[in-house]
Structure 1
């Protein structure tokens, strides 16, 4: 409703006035309040009371929730800083098994015994095998790694012989450490240098300011396939790095796009190797994609495979069943060529970094610079750049992004786990979304022994610091005390978003006022003379 004093103002003046809700959202952002909080009902099993709690959405992107994205970036920076120059070996001890986990294993043992008895009796074990498979999934979901029996689904293997066009790599004997070498200076001081490495993909054609000089000769297909499989190439680089280094190299890496839209990698590496060896490893690293052919189009337009409930997808002209994913892989003989081979480009930047130096802080900021933006958001808004992005997306449209991608139907292969309604060019996979530009992997890659903490533990460290600064104790609570439940949409007990934001802003104001008060007391200031005293 418009207030009376607003109606008295000229129309042009009223239209220039900001909306109160928009101002509230901006104030919430300034105070670090999540602007898309998720209401959850928390039931206290001890007291029996129930209340609705706003939980931050946890988004990592500025475009969705700047406060949550900022917190995530700060957590990643803390994680990178704590692990980069460790001087003691991280000790990762498994958690003690819970009562629920032990119960699952006991039940698994009973079902295994029944399955073994049925097999000895010559009975059908199909149903029991399905139960065991379901139990194994439940065991992993309960927080246990690996397989109970130690057996796994057999993987397809190809020859591990290196390609003739790839240089060989030296291999050092592995030592049980993650720290790397130390160096003693002439003054007796011990230094533990680390590395900051940037890896890029090769050229697909001449570019100027990130735009192809000649779009007609720019190799968009290769650029698209490199983007789709870039995460596998990174894995290969880490494997080769550890073989050459001779120790369990730990890393913190971030992926971001260059102006030409190709993803590239910034990597903080604990320990050091000669620059020449890093460049040699990059030159010798490659990844082969052993998939069925995806160059010859068999079905397109109105001539698309049709679904049959019993057989799967059929050729619409002949009625012949298309080969399944496994059958198409089986058809690749020993003389088959990989669908695609990825390699890094010649540009490899290697910097030595020492702990506590301005260079280290600058590298950490650089690693986290674009973490709050999607790959597509980092692009320039110029017309030429938009046209370049459109051509890249067009090249990605029909490229298979995974074994389950509907695009395989275009090339005469049933996708893995095929289902009705699949249409080439309409894959819902992350890689095909415009904001991801073909890269479907994680933006941040952290090795298991980097900081000896999970991201949740880093978040708990931050919470503990804030509570200590506010003079409150972070008392441990029974993890089984509270039961959390989602709140149905339209629940009358949930206040409007505006009211919830106002409450959260008020809480943040009290926290900040308390922190200023504590800081002022620590500095010996007279609070009665400060503007905040009121």
Structure 2
């Protein structure tokens, strides 16, 4: 007879507990969260006028006297169920800025809108997987670099080849430039948006200082790590009236004008780093590969579809470090921690460069050692301008209101709520993790089926 594993015994223990049905309800309510937060405490709602208790909840009646709530981690490599929820919120956030809804008027679809991709510059030649069975870097009589490495590669790489994205010669690769570009990518984007506003004002004969009186530039952008471990930016850029999406843009605001401004500014904007004896001085710019495509209006047939763009951006928000091109999900505390990261030599070299430059006084403000796990990139994965659309907080509040409505709680407008909560821990026991994973898989399967049947995002 096969002996039960520790995980099976733990799952059996849970299933035999008299409170197992309620525990299962909690796990299902979290969507099968892989690392739920354990809370203990109570919530009491009283009528303001009389002090009468209208509703009371206490975890003392719960399994283990605790309540499990979602960890809300966006990374699929950390918690797939919560990352799917985050991806859904991102889809609705981006889509609202494209088609309206969630407090954004539907007329926003008529505003000039672009889907923009800005890339990182080259820091040295890397191996490529090229469609059509083409060779990586076929250069006749290319010779060798000063480190004795060949300057050509005649191999045909598959997309999952471990060499894809790796430098032809690590000794020639500009690792300091790569790390410093990551550290300044947020500043480069800020200069890009500011310069775009100035360019638009100049193009239509407006004083640059008065652009905001006539139009507003709104955006939502997501950062994506490419195979070479360099961040690219995908963004929706939109021209509104001066009060945001509620007001129509001026007559001169066209998709063609916005496209020309984006292309011109992307080629010219730069950030200059301070001089360092170890790394020199860098003028950091966007890469030469640039894409700016107008999004089609309701009556058009050309251009990317709104839902496809929203789904594309949502996908990259939840991308974790599964392929290790994004570094790792946890911060590195020592130099030795870098060796333990299951990443390619190229990614580990970027981490070591962060650690080395982070110890230099001229780069102290960049806090590169604190961001070595993300290869120096310090920005959020998704950022947006204030007037682009709704917020994550508003979407979560809307979902919470919907869930409360399903519970049919009494409507108590004149009431006060007292809450006392304490953190107990997080995570699952082995058996609980097994059961939660099964619940998460069932929920994901049912959601995918419903999404395909209703033509939802990602179908």
Q: TM-score, normalised by structure 1?
A: 0.53
Determine if contact 1:257/1:375 at 8 Å carries over to the other structure. Answer: no
Measured after TM superposition, the shift of residue 251 of structure 1 is 0.7
| CA shift in 2, pair 1:49/1:360, >3 Å | closer
Give the Cα separation in 1 of the matches to 2:11 and 2:119.
44
Give the Cα separation in 2 of the matches to 1:353 and 1:235.
23
2:228 pairs, out of 257, 260, 268, with 260
| CA shift in 2, pair 1:256/1:16, >3 Å | same
1:386 pairs, out of 338, 344, 350, with 344
Aligned to 2:58: 51
> For 1:203, what is the secondary structure of its paired residue?
coil
| CA shift in 2, pair 1:235/1:477, >3 Å | farther
Determine if contact 1:29/1:67 at 8 Å carries over to the other structure. Answer: no
1:226 pairs, out of 174, 178, 181, with 181
> For 1:438, what is the secondary structure of its paired residue?
coil
Give the Cα separation in 2 of the matches to 1:462 and 1:205.
47
| CA shift in 2, pair 1:45/1:85, >3 Å | closer
Measured after TM superposition, the shift of residue 276 of structure 1 is 3.2
Give 1 or 2 for the bigger CA radius of gyration. Answer: 1
Give the Cα separation in 2 of the matches to 1:396 and 1:17.
40
2:288 pairs, out of 346, 349, 371, with 346
Measured after TM superposition, the shift of residue 504 of structure 1 is 13
Aligned to 1:408: 360
* 1:282 maps onto 2:220 in alignment: no
1:455 pairs, out of 392, 402, 410, with 392
Higher alpha-carbon deviation: 45-54 or 191-200: 45-54
> For 2:220, what is the secondary structure of its paired residue?
strand
The aligned runs of 1:474-489 (5 Å cut-off) are 475=411, 480-488=416-424
Give the Cα separation in 1 of the matches to 2:294 and 2:121.
24
Give the Cα separation in 1 of the matches to 2:8 and 2:442.
23
Give the Cα separation in 1 of the matches to 2:297 and 2:398.
21
Q: TM-score, normalised by structure 2?
A: 0.60
**1:202-225 superposed Cα distances (whole Å, 9 cap, x missing partner):** 111122222222222111111111
Determine if contact 1:211/1:384 at 8 Å carries over to the other structure. Answer: no
Determine if contact 1:233/1:287 at 8 Å carries over to the other structure. Answer: yes
Measured after TM superposition, the shift of residue 26 of structure 1 is 12
Structure 1: 5+ residue stretches without partners = 1-8, 92-178, 183-190, 298-337, 401-406, 417-425, 514-534
> For 2:383, what is the secondary structure of its paired residue?
strand
> For 2:357, what is the secondary structure of its paired residue?
coil
The root-mean-square deviation of aligned C-alpha atoms, in Å, is: 4.8
**1:362-414 superposed Cα distances (whole Å, 9 cap, x missing partner):** 21111121222335745399x997121122222222123xxxxxx135x7x9x
* 1:370 maps onto 2:307 in alignment: no
Aligned to 1:269: 237
**1:238-270 superposed Cα distances (whole Å, 9 cap, x missing partner):** 111222334211111100111111111000112
Determine if contact 1:198/1:349 at 8 Å carries over to the other structure. Answer: yes
| CA shift in 2, pair 1:57/1:501, >3 Å | farther
Determine if contact 2:119/2:290 at 8 Å carries over to the other structure. Answer: yes
Aligned to 1:204: 123
Measured after TM superposition, the shift of residue 197 of structure 1 is 0.3
Aligned to 2:33: 34
Give the Cα separation in 2 of the matches to 1:355 and 1:44.
50
| CA shift in 2, pair 1:500/1:214, >3 Å | closer
| CA shift in 2, pair 1:378/1:26, >3 Å | farther
Aligned to 1:244: 199
Give the Cα separation in 2 of the matches to 1:89 and 1:34.
30
Give the Cα separation in 2 of the matches to 1:478 and 1:501.
44
Give the Cα separation in 2 of the matches to 1:37 and 1:269.
36
* 1:397 maps onto 2:337 in alignment: no
Measured after TM superposition, the shift of residue 64 of structure 1 is 2.3
Which one has more relative contact order, counting CA pairs under 8 Å at least 6 apart? 2
